[in-house]
C-alpha cells in the first residue's frame, strides 16, 4: 500500500508532468472509484473542462486544484490510492487494460489513466464553495503531518498517555500521525529502538522523542529515494522507488539485524505483519 513517501512521489510526478493538462474528456469505467456525491455523472460534469493546477498531499490523500481556462479555481480533485491505485500518463491512445478505472483525456490526446487492481482507490470532486475536509470525511480525522511543527514529542506524549494499544497499532492509526503505514511504522520503530508490541502509554519521554525523530528521518530518506520497491508501487513514469533495498527490518524476517546480527522476527500485530529485532528493540 502506498504510504506517505510513495504518495509524495506521485504528487511530485503529477505536478511535474501535468501542469498544462487540460481535461477535455473523462471516462469512468468503474463507478466505485468515484466517492463524491452524485457519482460519476456529477464528477465528470464538474471535473471536465478544467486545467490541473498544483497538487498537495495530506496524509495519503492527493489534492489537485482544478482551474478554468482563465485559471480561476473551480475546486479540487481528491484521490486516495488505497491498496493498489496508480496513475499513468499515456502519451498516445493506448488500449486500456482491464484494471483501468478512470481515464482523463486532454486536448492533445494525452491520457492520465487511473489503474487500480484491487479497486479500493477513491476520487472526489470538491467544489470551490466547500473545503476539502467538508467533502472528504477521512481528511477530517487525520492527525498532524509528520513534517509539520504540530507533530512533536509533546503532542505525541500527550496523545499516547492513556492509550493501551501497542505503539505499532497507534502508528498505523491515521489520527495519531498522518501518512504512516506498515513499512514505515516498522522501520521507524527499529530506528528508535522500540518494541512494536509495547503499550503506547508505557513509552518514556526519551523514547517518544526518538520515535518522532526517527519517523521524520526515515520518511525523508524514503522520499529522497522515490518511495519503496515493495508492493506494486510505481510512479507516473512506471518507475518504482529505491528505499526497499535499504530497509532495516521490513520484509527481512529470518535475516541478520543490520545493527547487532540477531535474527529479525516477524509476527502479526493488529492484523499486520510486523518485523523487528528482539535485541535492538526493547
The two counts, helices (H) then strands (E), for the chain are: 8, 10
Query: Environment class of residue 98 by beta-carbon count within 10 Å: exposed (0-12), middle (13-18) or buried (19+)?
Result: exposed
Task: Give the x-and-dash track for 235-264 against Zn ion (CB under 5 A).
Answer: ----------------------x-xx-x--
Contact predicate 14/87, CB 8 Å: yes
Instruction: Give min distance, CB of 243 to Zn ion, in A.
Output: 20
Helix (H) or strand (E) holding 105: strand 100-106
Burial of 232 (0-12, 13-18, 19+ CB in 10 A): middle
Q: How many residues bind Zn ion (CB under 5 A)?
A: 7
Task: Examine the residue annotation and report whether 103 is marked as an active-site residue of this protein.
Answer: no
Q: Which is nearer to Zn ion, 67 or 248 (CB)?
A: 248
SS3 77: strand
Kindly state whether residue 208 participates in binding Zn ion, applying the rule CB under 5 A: no
Active site residue 272: yes
Catalytic site includes residue 2: yes
Beta bridge partners of 114: 87, 102
Q: Of residues 195, 229, 253, 279, which one binds Zn ion by CB under 5 A?
A: 279
Least distance in Å: CB of 193 to Zn ion? 9
CB atoms within 10 A of CB 103: 17
Answer yes or no whether residue 277 interacts with Zn ion by CB under 5 A: yes
Is 23 a binding residue for Zn ion by CB under 5 A? The answer is: no
Assess whether 146 carries a catalytic annotation: no
Residue nearest to Zn ion (CB): 257
The active-site residue out of 30, 32, 82, 272 is 272
Instruction: Write out the residues near Zn ion by the rule CB under 5 A.
Output: 257, 259-260, 262, 277, 279-280
Amino acid at each position: 500500500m502506498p504510504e506517505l513517501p510513495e504518495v509524495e512521489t506521485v504528487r511530485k510526478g503529477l505536478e511535474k508532468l501535468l501542469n498544462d493538462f487540460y481535461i477535455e474528456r473523462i471516462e469512468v469505467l468503474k463507478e466505485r472509484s468515484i466517492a463524491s456525491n452524485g457519482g460519476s455523472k456529477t464528477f465528470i460534469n464538474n471535473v471536465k473542462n478544467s486545467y490541473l493546477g498544483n497538487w498537495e498531499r495530506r496524509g495519503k490523500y492527493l489534492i489537485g486544484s482544478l482551474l478554468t481556462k482563465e485559471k480561476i479555481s473551480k475546486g479540487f480533485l481528491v484521490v486516495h490510492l488505497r491498496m493498489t491505485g496508480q496513475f499513468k500518463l499515456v502519451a498516445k491512445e493506448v488500449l486500456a487494460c482491464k484494471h483501468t478505472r478512470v481515464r482523463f483525456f486532454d486536448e492533445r490526446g494525452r491520457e492520465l489513466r487511473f489503474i487500480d487492481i484491487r479497486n479500493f482507490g477513491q476520487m472526489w470532486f470538491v467544489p470551490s464553495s466547500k473545503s476539502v475536509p467538508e467533502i472528504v470525511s477521512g481528511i477530517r480525522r487525520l492527525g498532524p503531518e509528520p513534517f509539520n511543527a504540530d507533530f512533536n514529542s509533546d503532542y505525541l506524549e500527550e496523545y499516547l498517555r492513556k492509550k493501551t494499544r501497542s505503539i505499532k497499532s497507534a502508528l498505523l492509526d491515521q489520527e495519531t500521525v498522518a501518512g504512516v503505514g506498515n513499512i514505515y511504522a516498522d522501520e521507524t520503530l527499529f530506528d528508535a529502538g522500540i518494541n512494536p508490541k509495547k503499550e503506547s502509554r508505557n513509552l518514556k519521554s526519551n523514547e517518544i522523542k526518538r520515535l518522532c525523530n526517527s519517523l521524520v528521518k526515515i520518511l525523508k530518506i524514503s522520499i529522497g529515494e522515490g518511495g519503496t520497491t515493495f508492493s506494486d508501487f510505481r510512479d507516473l513514469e512506471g518507475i518504482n522507488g529505491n528505499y526497499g533495498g535499504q530497509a532495516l527490518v521490513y520484509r527481512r524476517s529470518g535475516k541478520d539485524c543490520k545493527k547487532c546480527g540477531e535474527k529479525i522476527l516477524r509476527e502479526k500485530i493488529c492484523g499486520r505483519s510486523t518485523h523487528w529485532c528482539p535485541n535492538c528493540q526493547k
